[in-house]
């Protein structure tokens, strides 16, 4: 029976690993639909940014209480899953608490006690976050883009984490009772910090019943973690993994700097006589700006998959605060939804070209012109994002498409463009008259 359970365990791990790999490969494939961009410069600064923002949760602590709560979940979930290594080895080898005799019972008990402390912290914080979302109904969690599924997704993850931690504590409590009863194979490591308070619930049970509960909790815990790992790849909680590469590949330029289109810059320089046309290699531009996800860069697509849907960007957006349709969070969610749609087409065996030419596009089918034109490019959304996502870059690229491909910008914008072209300023004054106001100033 033991060998059959070992085989079953290995099969479960293998199936979960294969499904996670398959899903990760699809995500990678859709991200690589984006155009190339160089984010390999200044590695020391990039490592520092990742350590501060992703590992250190630097931006989360701008709101200290919420930052601390999020940090408890983050640290707790990461560290507690270190014990996953022991569980996997126990499952493969048919052992029980493999590390206890290796590192000594005292050190082992200290480690499990620290895991339990974090597990209880995760439970308390998850309950608090569920209350914030569903009882207090914090505004940013209930805005128009937060439809039924995004809200359900967040609640499922929090509930999932609570269940996993309770299974961990139940497993330890029944294990301790079995130790006291002298059950075979249950290593004497003593009781633990928090699960000891659950022991009275199980002390009057028979050894057979206790083993059944302990083994059930053990199996549900490991299968729950494997299921959670797979589910995360479909969830907004993919940021648990992608926050690290996303912050590493952050835009290191000053927030107010908007990258020009090289082809347009060269045309302007040629017109001004700053460079010779023969010095510029001939390039064919497929499209000015962005209409669909393949017009964006791979980093912008990575941003979309890294979005936490926390809504800090939207809550800081002045356009959104004044009632306009623009929501930077929705821009990122729409981009991810479009990528997911293309991914589903690829899974059905369609080529990338067929998947992209499905009669839909990011701009038009998901994001509207009204949203894009509402942005005032203040960078508040970029500054607010806890994982350095840049919604503004996508907005600017779609706006370029509206301006240069569709030529459908408002009349007031067209007047400004004409003034910039003719007078080198947004106002309708010739350069020679620009300083006439100075003659009227009394010195």
- Can you spell out the DSSP letters for 93-137? HT-SSTHHHHH-HHHHHHHHHHHHHHHHHHHHHHHHHHHHHHTS-
- How many helices, marked H, and strands, marked E, lie in the chain? 20, 0
The gap from C-alpha 32 to its chain's centroid, in whole angstroms, comes to 17
DSSP 8-state symbol, 61: G
Do 175 and 221 belong to one domain? yes
Residue 158, both tokens:
């929090």
67, burial (CB in 10 Å: exposed 0-12, middle 13-18, buried 19+): middle
**pLDDT, mean of residues 207-226:** 92
Residues 23 and 259: their CA atoms lie apart, in Å, by 33
| Whether 276 and 209 share a structural domain | no
pLDDT score of 267 more than 80: no
Average pLDDT of the segment spanning 232-243: 92
Contacts of 54 (CB under 8 A, 6+ apart): 243, 244, 246, 247, 248, 387
Strand ranges inside 243-383, DSSP E = none
Q: What does the pLDDT look like over 8-30, one tens digit per residue? A: 899 999 999 999 999 999 999 99
Share of the chain above pLDDT 90, in %: 59
Q: Are residues 148 and 195 in the same domain?
A: yes
Please check whether residues 147 and 74 belong to one and the same domain. yes
> What's the pLDDT score for residue 283?
66
Residues 228 and 306 in one domain: no
237 and 196 in a common domain: yes
Residue 36 lies in a domain: no
Q: Cβ–Cβ contacts within 10 Å for residue 114, how many?
A: 15
* pLDDT tens per residue, range 329-350: 999 999 999 999 999 999 999 9
With 80 as the cut, is the pLDDT of residue 102 above it?
yes
Residue 351: its pLDDT value, please? 92
Residue 438 pLDDT class (50, 70, 90 cuts):
confident
287 and 235 assigned to the same domain: no
Does 220 have pLDDT greater than 90?
yes
Query: What confidence category does residue 248 fall into, taking pLDDT thresholds of 50, 70 and 90?
Result: very high
Q: Which among 372, 409, 406 is positioned nearest to 392, based on CA atoms? A: 372
Residue in the structure block whose two tokens are 């059959």: 4
Mean pLDDT of 105-110: 86
**Considering only CA atoms, which of 238, 226, 207 is closest in space to residue 28?**
238
Does some domain include residue 388? Answer: yes
Confirm whether 437 is domain-assigned.
no
Mean pLDDT of 175-192: 84
Among 33-42, 89-98, 285-294, top mean pLDDT goes to: 33-42
Residue 53 has pLDDT above 80, yes or no: yes
- As given in the structure block, the two tokens for residue 414 are 């067209």
Q: Is the pLDDT of residue 104 over 90?
A: no
Asked if 320 contacts 326 with a C-beta cutoff of 8 angstroms, the reply is yes
Is the pLDDT confidence value at 124 over 60? yes
Query: Is the distance from CB of 137 to CB of 130 less than 8 angstroms?
Result: no
- 172 and 67 inside one domain: yes
pTM equals 0.90
Residues 290, 412, single domain; the answer is yes
**Of 218, 248, 278, which marks where a domain is finished?**
248
Pick the closest to residue 295 from 214, 367, 382 (CA basis): 367
Q: Give the pLDDT score at 108.
A: 87
> What residues contact residue 270 under an 8 Å CB cut-off, 6+ apart?
276, 277, 280
Instruction: Show the CA angle centred on residue 229, arms to residues 61 and 242, nearest 5°.
Output: 45
Q: Locate tokens 């907005």: which residue?
A: 395
pLDDT tops 60 at residue 352: yes
Answer whether residue 292 is part of any domain: yes
pLDDT of residue 285: 67
Question: Residue 394: is its pLDDT beyond 70?
Answer: yes
- 48, part of any domain: no
In this model, does residue 1 exceed pLDDT 60?
no
Q: Give the whole-angstrom CA distance, residue 372 versus residue 69.
A: 34
Q: Does the pLDDT at position 107 exceed 60?
A: yes
Q: What is the mean pLDDT of residues 109-113?
A: 88
Mean pLDDT of the chain: 89
- The total number of structural domains that make up the chain: 2
Least confident of 108-117, 130-139, 178-187: 178-187
pLDDT tens digits for 165-179? 999 999 999 999 998
Q: What is the mean pLDDT of residues 182-206?
A: 87
Residue pair 385/352 in contact by the 8 Å Cβ criterion: no
Specify whether 238 is located in the same domain as 171. yes
Query: What backbone phi and psi angles, to 5 degrees, belong to 290?
Result: -130, 130
- Supply the pLDDT for residue 46: 96
One domain for residues 96 and 221: yes
Residue 281 has pLDDT above 90, yes or no: no
What confidence category does residue 443 fall into, taking pLDDT thresholds of 50, 70 and 90? low
Range scoring the smallest mean pLDDT among 133-147, 149-163, 419-433:
419-433
The domain that holds 309 is classified in CATH as: 1.10.1060
The parent domain of residue 302 ranges over 263-428
Rounded average pLDDT over 188-207: 89
In-domain check, residue 438 = no
d(CA 443, CA 441): 6
Query: Which residue among 248, 272, 305 closes a domain?
Result: 248
Looking at 248, 276, 298, the residue that finishes a domain is: 248
pLDDT value of position 282: 66
Which own/partner pairs from 319-323 qualify as long-range (CB within 8 Å, at least 24 positions apart)? Answer: 319/374, 319/375, 319/376
Question: What is the structure's pLDDT at 90?
Answer: 86
Find tokens 């009863």 and name the residue.
181
Q: Is residue 439 part of a domain?
A: no
The count of other CB atoms within 10 Å of the CB of residue 28 is: 12
DSSP assigned state of 363: I
Q: What phi and psi values does residue 118 have, to the nearest 5 degrees?
A: -70, -35
Question: What pLDDT does 419 receive?
Answer: 87
Tokens representing 167 are 């299974």
Residue 292 and residue 357 in contact, taking contact as beta carbons nearer than 8 Å:
no
Measured CA to CA, the distance from residue 432 to residue 344 in angstroms comes to: 59
Q: Are residues 278 and 355 in the same domain?
A: yes
C-alpha pair distances (Å), 421 with each of 183, 230, 261, 424, 441: 86, 53, 17, 6, 29
DSSP 83-96: HHHHHHHHHHHT-S
Size of the chain, expressed as the number of residues it contains: 443
| pLDDT of 274 strictly over 80 | no
Does residue 255 belong to any structural domain of this protein?
no
């Amino acid at each position: 029976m033991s060998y059959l359970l070992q085989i079953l365990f290995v099969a479960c791990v293998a199936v979960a690993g294969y499904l996670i790999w398959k899903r990760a490969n699809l995500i990678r494939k859709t991200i690589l639909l984006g155009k190339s961009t160089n984010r390999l410069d200044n590695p020391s600064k990039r490592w520092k940014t990742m350590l501060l923002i992703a590992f250190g949760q630097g931006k989360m602590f701008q709101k200290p209480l919420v930052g601390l709560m999020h940090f408890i979940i983050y640290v707790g979930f990461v560290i507690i899953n270190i014990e996953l290594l022991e569980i996997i080895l126990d499952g493969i080898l048919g052992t029980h608490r493999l590390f206890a005799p290796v590192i000594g019972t005292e050190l082992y008990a200290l480690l499990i006690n620290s895991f339990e402390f974090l597990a209880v912290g995760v439970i308390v914080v998850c309950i608090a976050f569920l209350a914030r979302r569903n009882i207090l109904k914090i505004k940013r969690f209930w805005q128009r883009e937060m439809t039924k599924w995004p809200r359900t997704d967040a609640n499922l993850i929090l509930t999932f984490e609570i269940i996993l931690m309770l299974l961990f504590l139940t497993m330890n409590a029944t294990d301790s009772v079995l130790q006291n009863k002298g059950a075979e194979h249950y290593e004497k490591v003593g009781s633990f910090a928090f699960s000891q308070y659950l022991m009275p619930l199980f002390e009057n049970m028979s050894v057979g019943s206790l083993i059944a509960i302990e083994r059930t909790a053990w199996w549900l815990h490991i299968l729950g973690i494997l299921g959670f790992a797979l589910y995360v790849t479909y969830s907004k909680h993919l940021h648990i993994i992608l926050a690290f590469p996303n912050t590493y590949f952050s835009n290191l330029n000053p927030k107010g700097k908007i990258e020009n289109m090289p082809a347009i810059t060269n045309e302007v320089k040629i017109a001004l006589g700053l460079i010779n046309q023969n010095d510029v290699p001939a390039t064919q531009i497929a499209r000015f700006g962005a209409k669909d996800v393949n017009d964006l860069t791979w980093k912008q697509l990575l941003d979309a998959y890294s979005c936490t849907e926390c809504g800090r960007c939207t809550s800081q957006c002045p356009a959104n605060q004044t009632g306009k349709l623009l929501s930077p969070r929705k821009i990122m969610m729409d981009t991810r939804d479009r990528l997911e749609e293309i991914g589903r087409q690829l899974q059905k065996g369609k080529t990338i070209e067929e998947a992209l030419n499905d009669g839909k596009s990011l701009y038009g089918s998901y994001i509207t012109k009204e949203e894009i034109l509402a942005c005032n490019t203040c960078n508040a959304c970029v500054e607010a994002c806890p994982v350095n996502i840049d919604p503004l870059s996508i907005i600017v690229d779609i706006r370029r498409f509206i301006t240069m491909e569709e030529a459908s910008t408002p009349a007031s914008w067209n007047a400004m463009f004409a003034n910039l072209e003719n007078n080198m300023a947004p106002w309708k004054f010739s350069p020679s008259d620009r300083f006439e106001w100075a003659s009227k100033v009394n010195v």
